[in-house]
Amino acid sequence: MAQAHNHIIVGIGNRLRGDDGAGLYIASQAALLLPGSECLLLHAPDILLSNLLSQKKRAVFADASVIPEGPDIVLKRILPSTDVLPHTHHLSIETILRITEKLWGRAPLSWLVTVRGRDFSHGERLTPECRKLAKEASRQIVRLMLDDASRD
């Protein structure tokens, strides 16, 4: 079984903007299905994550997607960015991973799971469609973590 000290599940989103809270829901649900998991819920990726990430073997980031086309759920491996570090207040997860490598000498194996959101208006509830997708995404994270940890 995946050990809690080896991985982290990071949910990203805003629970006050409808389906934008999907990443938070996904991470919370996955953590419930993986007892002892470390779960962190954030409004946006933050450079302060770098120290914590440097201590983990695996990381999964969960977020809502606003892209209207393509699969409803996407689970993909992500790598540290190879681009020049941006001069902005908005950092991608890949950039956070690159900063983690630069500062701490390593970054965890990382994945991003996104689910298609449908309604990002003000409100604290996920749409029924998004909630269904988020539950499936949570199960995908659990399978990923258990499968990957079995290779250790």
Write out the chain's pLDDT in tens, 152 residues: 444 458 999 999 999 999 999 999 999 999 999 987 899 999 998 888 999 999 999 999 999 998 888 899 999 999 998 876 656 667 889 999 999 999 999 999 999 999 999 999 999 999 999 999 999 999 999 999 988 767 76
| Amino acid in the structure at residue 66 | V
**H helices, E strands: number in the chain:** 4, 5
According to the model, what pLDDT value does residue 82 have?
82
pTM over 0.75: yes
Which of 111, 41, 29, 45 minimizes the C-alpha distance to 75? Answer: 111
What's the rounded Cα separation, in Å, for the pair 147 and 94?
Answer: 23
Domain that holds residue 76: 4-149
- Find the CATH number of the domain harbouring 42: 3.40.50.1450
Give the number of domains in the chain: 1
Question: E-strand spans in 1-152?
Answer: 7-12, 38-42, 58-65, 73-78, 109-116
The values of phi and psi at residue 51, to 5°, are -65, -50
Q: Cα 104 vs. chain centroid, distance in angstroms?
A: 20
Q: What would the two tokens of residue 68 be?
A: 């209207």
